[in-house]
């Protein structure tokens, strides 16, 4: 694909570096008629490549009709997500950021969304369509470059996230597929279900969605992992953390690697990175909890320098003799759903479904 001055290409942050390498994007003019002539078409990286640096797969994603409200909510979450010394979070600092100026999506002839099959990349598709709906509504501009697999030394490998691709793979991309009117309506409905303040719309979508994107529904199923299990009050990744304590020592970094699975299989569709899992450890070991599940030692500012062990209560939870809730409060977001024991708004995962109590 030739990068044109009439296009915008949107990728996740994990894919940005290799995308730049694949297409020679840098901060110098990209097109010129010849070596001696003054460029007739000059544009910068900041004009053609937009990077989604936000992690839509975690934290609050409530329904918003105002982009500034959305940016404020997400910036506050990200700032709290990282440690206090992390720099102030803003979507207005880097021109390459997707949210720096969403009106840029109005000013081009074509928008290409590059995506793998995992939750992060499928949410990126929904989010860009949401942004176009807030601005111009010209969904006919959008095409999706959907990676499913690559050939590696004669073997076909499934591609979960764009971040798994090297520059050569990106240059051998599948043909972009233009978004149809029917698909645009479906994707907007899917975004509405993700940002709804109850999980009912999402459950309905997962059970009866039309086959307009074979990757979206399986990816959105991973959002159900975020809901606490009825029997333990813990979500999927909480359980993975607790069940890996002691297996390979007490180092937080080893526990994180164990939570990912022996070959990283637990990460395939659900990109729960080190920072996300380390923050879960800090929360489960917080002295602010009435009954912490973890005992932490070391710096507790880096997963590389922190040790983790189960408390007596944590062991009881792991053995099925106690539950995180109601011994501890629940206050977390899953998409647009604010789970809060203080507000009596609780939903639990059980037998493949999410139900309230």
Spatial distance between the Cα atoms of 15 and 159, rounded to a whole number of angstroms: 12
Interval 265-275 mean pLDDT: 92
Position 84 scores a pLDDT of: 55
H or E stretch at 187: helix 181-195
Q: CB 333: neighbour CB atoms within 10 A?
A: 17
Residue 353 belongs to some domain of the structure:
no
The continuous run of DSSP H or E covering 9 comes out as strand 7-12
Instruction: State how far the Cα of 248 lies from the Cα of 84, in Å rounded to an integer.
Output: 29
pLDDT in tens, 314-341: 999 999 999 999 999 999 999 999 999 9
Give the mean model confidence (pLDDT) for residues 302-319.
Answer: 97
Domain ranges, residue 135: 7-195
- Report if residue 257 sits inside a domain: yes
Considering the domain architecture, whether residues 96 and 190 belong to the same structural domain is answered as: yes
> 80-106, pLDDT tens digit by residue?
876 555 556 678 788 889 999 999 998
Q: Report the pLDDT averaged over residues 147-154.
A: 86
Let me know whether 172 and 34 are in one domain: yes
The confidence band for 165, taking pLDDT boundaries of 50, 70 and 90, is very high
Asked if 266 and 186 sit in the same domain, the reply is no
Q: Beta strands of 116-211 (E only): which ranges?
A: 142-146, 149-152, 155-158, 177-178
Q: Tally the domains of the chain.
A: 2
122 is a domain residue:
yes
With respect to residue 217, please indicate whether it lies within any of the assigned structural domains: no
- Which residue has better confidence, 72 or 89? 72
Q: What is the CATH number of the domain that holds 234?
A: 1.10.10
The CATH number covering residue 30 comes to 3.40.50
Per-residue pLDDT band for 4 (boundaries 50, 70, 90) equals confident
18 and 161 in a single domain? The answer is yes
Same domain, 187 and 235: no
Q: pLDDT digit string (tens) for 8-67?
A: 999 999 999 999 888 876 544 433 333 343 333 334 555 689 999 999 999 999 999 999
| Greater model confidence, 83 or 167 | 167
Decide if 1 contacts 49 (C-beta within 8 A): no
Q: Are residues 259 and 168 in the same domain?
A: no
Q: Evaluate whether 220 touches 354 at the Cβ level (below 8 Å).
A: no
Residue 202 lies in a domain: no
190 and 236 assigned to the same domain: no
């Amino acid at each position: 694909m030739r990068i044109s001055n009439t296009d915008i290409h949107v990728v996740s942050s994990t894919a940005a570096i290799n995308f730049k390498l694949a297409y020679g994007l840098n901060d110098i003019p990209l097109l010129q008629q010849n070596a001696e002539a003054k460029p007739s078409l000059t544009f910068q990286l900041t004009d053609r490549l937009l990077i989604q640096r936000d992690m839509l797969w975690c934290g609050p994603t409530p329904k918003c009709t105002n982009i500034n409200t959305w940016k404020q909510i997400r910036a506050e979450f990200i700032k709290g997500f990282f440690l206090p010394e992390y720099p102030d979070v803003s979507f207005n600092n880097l021109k390459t950021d997707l949210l720096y100026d969403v009106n840029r999506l109005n000013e081009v002839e074509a928008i290409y969304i590059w995506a793998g099959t995992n939750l992060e990349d499928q949410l990126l598709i929904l989010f860009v369509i949401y942004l176009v709906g807030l601005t111009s509504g010209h969904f006919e501009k959008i095409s999706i470059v959907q990676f499913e697999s690559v050939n590696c030394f004669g073997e076909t490998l499934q591609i979960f996230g764009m971040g798994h691709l090297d520059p050569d793979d990106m240059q051998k991309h599948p043909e972009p597929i233009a978004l149809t009117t029917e698909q645009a309506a479906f994707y907007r409905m899917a975004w509405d279900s993700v940002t709804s303040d109850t999980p009912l719309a999402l459950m309905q979508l997962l059970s009866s969605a039309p086959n307009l994107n074979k990757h979206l529904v399986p990816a959105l199923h991973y959002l159900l992992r975020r809901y606490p299990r009825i029997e333990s009050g813990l979500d999927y990744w909480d359980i993975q953390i607790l069940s890996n304590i002691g297996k390979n020592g007490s180092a937080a970094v080893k526990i994180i690697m164990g939570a990912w699975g022996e070959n990283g299989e637990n990460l395939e569709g659900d990109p729960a990175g080190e920072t996300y899992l380390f923050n879960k450890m800090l929360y489960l070991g917080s002295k602010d909890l009435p009954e912490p599940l973890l005992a932490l030692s070391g710096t507790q500012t880096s997963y590389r320098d922190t040790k983790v062990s189960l408390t007596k209560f944590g062991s009881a939870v792991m053995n099925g003799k106690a539950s995180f809730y109601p011994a501890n409060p629940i206050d977390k977001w899953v998409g647009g759903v604010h789970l809060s024991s203080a507000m009596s708004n609780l939903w639990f995962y059980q037998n493949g479904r999410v139900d309230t109590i």
